[in-house]
Amino acid sequence: MGTRRSRTIEQDIEVRYSYPVRFTRDVFAPDHTTLAEVCARDGAGRRRKVLVVLDAGVAAAYPRLTDDITAYVAAHGEYLTLTRAPMLVEGGEQIKNDTATLEAIQREIDRGGIDRHSYVIVIGGGAVLDMAGFAAATAHRGIRLIRVPTTILSQNDSGVGVKNSVNAFGKKNFLGTFAPPYAVINDAALIERLPDREWRGGIAEAVKVALLKDPAFFAFIEDHAAALANRDADAMDWLIYRCAELHLQHIATSGDPFEFGSSRPLDFGHWSAHKLEQISNYAWRHGEAVAIGICLDATYAWRQGLLPETDWRRIIDVFDAVGLPIFAPELIDSLAHAGTSGSVLSGLEEFREHLGGELTIMLIRGIGVPYEVHSMDTSVITDSMRVLRDEHAARSSKESSHGEHLRDRESTLAATAD
């Protein structure tokens, strides 16, 4: 008998992706051409079927939006045709736990005859974009997806990236795809009515990217913290643009846009943030949890001698200045559940498992100086949680004392006037 031999064909495949991220205002005004141009950019010269998925919370905030979308498509009928009236879905992280809505979107894709040359246009916050994007990516192995993000968090971060996902088995983003959108349209008018909590939450991802990649951008956030907290439109426009630009540059130049390796730099602060969202039953919004997670990892880096205390304090100060939390009671409360899925510390293993390979955590050695580690000392993490608790308490006490001083002063002035 001859020696058994194996044969191998090894094929390299290069695939190029290109998609525009457009920054504009009032995209559904009848005379606005951005969306029509985006849909016609394939040069096919025919009308495209469109399924619009709309976040119900956005529809409630903008009561005319559904009619505006219908009127817009009618005004650009040479390019677009709706398969049905805009489909309303509930927003918020819980929608990613709901397979019924996911299946309903896929059913509408089927009923409407949406094919790989048609469009799903999703309008909403990050959770709705994630869920509808997953539905589109898994129908016909990929429908063209146009995202219209309506939160700061999605306009500057999640909405411009290449990921789609839903939650499963008690884990965030357990099911998902890497599927670049056909286009992203950031409409400045659609963030004007955000609640203050959502407005501030979107700043967290900008701080994250600045800490990793751009000290000058971090300084901009520091210098404009009050303006950003007070909803200054010009400051926020620049923050969204620069954050999205840095995010896209990373996807294009990192050499690992689909995360085949063990490094995930843009998830700085996220190992604990994802877990904090889960154990709080999403009472902490994603941006708030990311702010707390970054503060925790920055504190850990400082306590480990990696990060200068002056830089640590700048990080804590900037989150405080823009109105984002630096601490959550759940961090300390979860210590009683050590070794179980109810502990924030269990987020380390879930983070490693989600990516595969060895644990890789992004920390920083300075503003704009990223540094990866492959293990974390849980005793130092616990110490860092307590440091943040004490820092939060000290700041809260100072604010309370300042408020009492102001009230005493106002009472004195009023008595003098009398």
Domain boundaries, given as residue ranges, for the chain = 21-194, 207-402
- pLDDT over 90 at 53, yes or no: yes
Task: Point out the least confidently predicted range of 68-72, 82-86, 88-92, 265-269.
Answer: 265-269
At residue 185, φ and ψ (nearest 5 deg) are: -125, 115
Say how far apart CA 372 and CA 358 lie, in whole Å. 12
CB–CB of 211/364 below 8 Å? yes
- pLDDT over 90 at 302, yes or no: yes
Residues 248, 24, 63, 236: is their CA dihedral positive or negative?
A: positive
The pLDDT assigned to 409 comes to 45
- pLDDT over 80 at 167, yes or no: yes
For residue 259, name the pLDDT band (cuts at 50, 70, 90).
low
- CA 274 and chain centroid, separation: 11
Task: Point out the least confidently predicted range of 221-225, 281-285, 286-290, 320-324.
Answer: 281-285
- Tell me if the domain spanning 21-194 has CATH number 3.40.50.1970: yes
The pLDDT assigned to 254 comes to 75
Tens digits of per-residue pLDDT, 93-113?
A: 889 998 999 999 999 999 999
Q: Which among 46-55, 255-264, 401-410 has the top mean pLDDT?
A: 46-55
CB–CB of 55/219 below 8 Å? no
Q: What is the mean pLDDT of the chain?
A: 91
The pLDDT assigned to 49 comes to 95
10: left (phi over 0), alpha (psi -120 to 50) or beta: beta
The pLDDT assigned to 6 comes to 87
The H or E element that residue 408 is part of is helix 378-417
- CA 296 and chain centroid, separation: 19
Give the single-character DSSP code of 16.
-
Q: What percentage of the chain carries pLDDT values higher than 70? A: 92
Q: Which of 199, 231, 257 is nearest to 17 (CA)?
A: 257
- pLDDT over 50 at 172, yes or no: yes
Mean pLDDT, residues 195-222: 96
Domains 21-194 and 207-402 fall in the same CATH topology:
no
Tens digits of per-residue pLDDT, 122-149?
A: 999 999 999 999 999 999 999 999 999 9
Neighbours of 179 (CB within 10 A): 20
Give the single-character DSSP code of 215.
H
For residue 264, name the pLDDT band (cuts at 50, 70, 90).
confident
Say how far apart CA 415 and CA 418 lie, in whole Å. 5
Tens digits of per-residue pLDDT, 398-411?
A: 776 545 544 454 45
- pLDDT over 80 at 418, yes or no: no
Tens digits of per-residue pLDDT, 150-165?
A: 999 999 998 999 999 9
- pLDDT over 70 at 166, yes or no: yes
The pLDDT assigned to 261 comes to 55
CB–CB of 72/30 below 8 Å? yes
- b/e 303-339 (16+ beta carbons within 10 angstroms → b): beebbeeebbebbbebbbbbbbbbbbebbeebbeeee
For residue 352, name the pLDDT band (cuts at 50, 70, 90).
confident
The pLDDT assigned to 413 comes to 44
Give the single-character DSSP code of 17.
-
What are the angstrom distances between the C-alpha of 219 and each of 200, 318, 399? Answer: 17, 10, 24
Say how far apart CA 120 and CA 138 lie, in whole Å. 12
Q: Where does 207-402 sit in CATH, by number?
A: 1.20.1090.10
The pLDDT assigned to 410 comes to 47
Say how far apart CA 82 and CA 88 lie, in whole Å. 14
Residues 138, 19, 207, CA angle at the centre, nearest 5°? 95
The pLDDT assigned to 417 comes to 47
